Structure 1
């Protein structure tokens, strides 16, 4: 009986030592600590993680993000992230288009029209509001019928015929009733010949909103080309990715003519790159490659035509490349220098990643602290549906908000953390040594008991 009690006591001691070895994380275990302020109704709060703060993480997937209360206790949290690949319900729809005419001497920017539509809103006919004589009418733009598309509009894809190559620039307006129009910015498509090759740009980004009708108005009279195809790409609301957040300009280097490289602060899922074009009348066909570290081969990411051209007294600029969102830490741009190149010095770049939101359940007293920067901790985030039992997209928008207290001030704690980490490591080594000695002692005791002859009755 005594031997059984001894064995049980030693087992409890060993278990206690093992539990102590996995002690709870503290803010000092992380190299960066950011004070948070909260507003709105809790107990759940969501924080849009600024890219400047995110880049202080030491794990690409942000497994080292934590939230602590004033007592240094970790808070339950979830990560709300969406990548471009999550938008699977994208559809491309061919839409009808109708010419918009006005008189050559008409000073009205947007032609007034008479429309005839079916019961469901589909356009059947579009005519000028007043009769125009032959030769007086001027093609001013086009009206697109998107009434059959119920999802938010993501991209406009055009094809056209024109007498000469060049850029086609126009304004984009949206309406649901053909009476009230909302500006959706400007669009630009291009068809160019370069070094015996054809370079064409057909796509124009849209703001991800729904509209029944789009109106495209060319900036200069008589400049509107003849459309041959108009398509709209849409995506359902539930699959829309979070917005992009952009980095600060990043300096690069150039080892040889026409080749530029940049080192990113950490591995990130880059979805767009913007290359600085300082010199007017720059034209550069380019290919962009990336990799996670110097020991790996370069992988192609994107290609396109970058330009900054002066037309009509203003600059026409295309300085962005679209990427697939794969993780890279180094970028390399190769330029076809038949277009004149981008100069000897590497241009600066900005990169964009998807916005990340941290949602945490506030427990204990504030103020709360966001901590990150630890290469060894394991992920501790929960699924959103677990953190918020009745989670829905509608409820997500009603959660309280957290913000970086004092703007983007980041408290660096690297020296203290290094010392704390070293101290913690020695403690862990000592605890594990005690644990192993306890197990060894148990094994020796068990072996001696097994060898001891049974007591005579």
Structure 2
């Protein structure tokens, strides 16, 4: 059986050598230059480069070094980016007193400065007689402009147990909006202590917060902090094509042929005439042999209001691969004219990250309809990958024009025998024959022994 194992390993090794890809297996090559800290480099793929691919999902993309050796790589299609800036601020607190713990709302007078800073909270004259009970607190958040995300309280250590209270918000100290209930706690058991100081807030802005304890006196606060956060969102980065000319099939129906199959996610129709109003339906397909599939519909317009143009010229698409587009226009809105309008399409920006091995220059190769996907996940390509780490990688840039193999040369290669495939089949058949001979020999030995 040792010989059998050696034979199998030999066949697999031979097949691997024969199947090694080279830049010549791809119809387009793009020279790359690298700078910055390696060994990982990232490249924003221009749409003009992507159009050289034969597969819409870029499965036929490869990176080679100067010796023609393939490089490990990953593809990342960029999405909308969200950032959050958090800030923790100490705020002033003012006591609220009432005649007893059952009083729903303490009768108080509140004063603030012209800027909104809370200056004083005192009982009204009608409730100053008799013993007063601490019912709650008013927090001054007037200096915080961002939405409030969290409240953090600390109070006198002599007061243990659960502290339950209602939370209300106001911008004028007159009208209060309920923000739900809060609970903090300080519990001791044996030598253990459990403390809970934080309460979540609804993420809205307010100048003042009112905390009211129900059925119990409020504790003496020693600290009050508010956590605010400002969230920002960057739109999804798109890569737009050059203007594409179309063909008018008949009244209200136009088609466009894309340079290649693309995962289109946005489409922009040029509306040249003012006061254009066009309900439209968009369809697409991968080639002329397929039936049209509906992709999107909507209302396109360019209207003049108060001396300014108000334009809606884009449609959102599901992102499936298409090579042809057809737009049908409801002519009752006036149509889009006798000539097909100019069209632009957008795909999601794609980033290539590769691990440089061997010597430069490096070459990006595309254009092989039979190539299988070879990209890795980013977390595999970069073991300690993080979004922040991605921004520190070296930069790769396109260093020249796309070199495309001559169509005549491609035709000549296609008409000749595929010696690589013939060689692979020959080696495989020889391996199978050798395995069959071994098996036959092994089966005959027990019969001879009898």
State the SS of the aligned residue for 2:418: helix
What is residue 158 of structure 1 aligned with on the other side?
A: none
Distance in 2 separating the partners of 1:333 and 1:146:
45
How far did 1:386 drift? 0.8
Picking from 241, 253, 268, the partner of 2:247 is 253
Asked if 1:384 corresponds to 2:381, the answer is no
Task: Summarize the alignment of residues 356-395 of structure 1 with structure 2, pairs less than 5 Å apart.
Answer: 356-395=350-389
What is residue 339 of structure 1 aligned with on the other side?
A: 333
What is residue 147 of structure 1 aligned with on the other side?
A: 147
Task: Summarize the alignment of residues 17-56 of structure 1 with structure 2, pairs less than 5 Å apart.
Answer: 17-22=14-19, 24-56=20-52
Distance in 1 separating the partners of 2:205 and 2:263:
34
Deviation sequence 1:341-372 (CA, Å, 0-9, x none): 11111111001111000000111111111101
Contact 2:78–2:237 (8 Å) recurs in 1: no
Distance in 2 separating the partners of 1:370 and 1:34:
5
Distance in 2 separating the partners of 1:424 and 1:212:
74
What is residue 440 of structure 1 aligned with on the other side?
A: 433
Picking from 287, 294, 311, the partner of 2:288 is 294
Picking from 327, 348, 354, the partner of 1:354 is 348
What is residue 59 of structure 1 aligned with on the other side?
A: 55
Distance in 2 separating the partners of 1:8 and 1:283:
73
Distance in 1 separating the partners of 2:42 and 2:415:
33
What is residue 302 of structure 2 aligned with on the other side?
A: 308
Picking from 403, 406, 409, the partner of 1:411 is 403
Picking from 423, 430, 433, the partner of 1:430 is 423
How far did 1:291 drift? 2.9
Contact 2:64–2:362 (8 Å) recurs in 1: yes
Contact 2:265–2:317 (8 Å) recurs in 1: yes
Distance in 2 separating the partners of 1:212 and 1:37:
49
Distance in 2 separating the partners of 1:83 and 1:418:
40
Distance in 1 separating the partners of 2:252 and 2:374:
45
What is residue 67 of structure 2 aligned with on the other side?
A: 71
State the SS of the aligned residue for 1:437: helix
Picking from 278, 287, 293, the partner of 1:284 is 278
Tell me: CA distance 1:421–1:25, structure 2 relative to 1, closer, same or farther (3 Å): farther
How far did 1:73 drift? 0.8
Deviation sequence 1:432-456 (CA, Å, 0-9, x none): 1232134224424542564478667
How far did 1:419 drift? 5.3
Q: Which stretch shifts more, 371-380 or 319-328?
A: 319-328
State the SS of the aligned residue for 2:259: strand
What is residue 170 of structure 2 aligned with on the other side?
A: none
State the SS of the aligned residue for 1:342: coil
What is residue 221 of structure 2 aligned with on the other side?
A: none
Contact 1:29–1:421 (8 Å) recurs in 2: no
> Aligned pair count?
321
Picking from 395, 398, 410, the partner of 1:401 is 395
Tell me: CA distance 1:47–1:282, structure 2 relative to 1, closer, same or farther (3 Å): same
Contact 2:39–2:394 (8 Å) recurs in 1: yes
Tell me: CA distance 1:380–1:116, structure 2 relative to 1, closer, same or farther (3 Å): same
Q: Which stretch shifts more, 359-368 or 415-424?
A: 415-424
Tell me: CA distance 1:30–1:244, structure 2 relative to 1, closer, same or farther (3 Å): same
Distance in 2 separating the partners of 1:266 and 1:122:
55
How far did 1:36 drift? 0.7
Structure 1 alignment gaps of length 5 or more = 88-113, 124-144, 151-210, 214-233
Deviation sequence 1:160-216 (CA, Å, 0-9, x none): xxxxxxxxxxxxxxxxxxxxxxxxxxxxxxxxxxxxxxxxxxxxxxxxxxx999xxx
Distance in 2 separating the partners of 1:324 and 1:115:
50
Contact 1:286–1:305 (8 Å) recurs in 2: yes
How far did 1:429 drift? 1.5
What is residue 196 of structure 1 aligned with on the other side?
A: none
TM-score, normalisation: structure 1 = 0.62
State the SS of the aligned residue for 1:386: helix
What is residue 92 of structure 1 aligned with on the other side?
A: none
TM-score, normalisation: structure 2 = 0.62
Distance in 2 separating the partners of 1:279 and 1:359:
44
Tell me: CA distance 1:53–1:9, structure 2 relative to 1, closer, same or farther (3 Å): closer
Distance in 1 separating the partners of 2:231 and 2:247:
39
Contact 2:116–2:142 (8 Å) recurs in 1: no
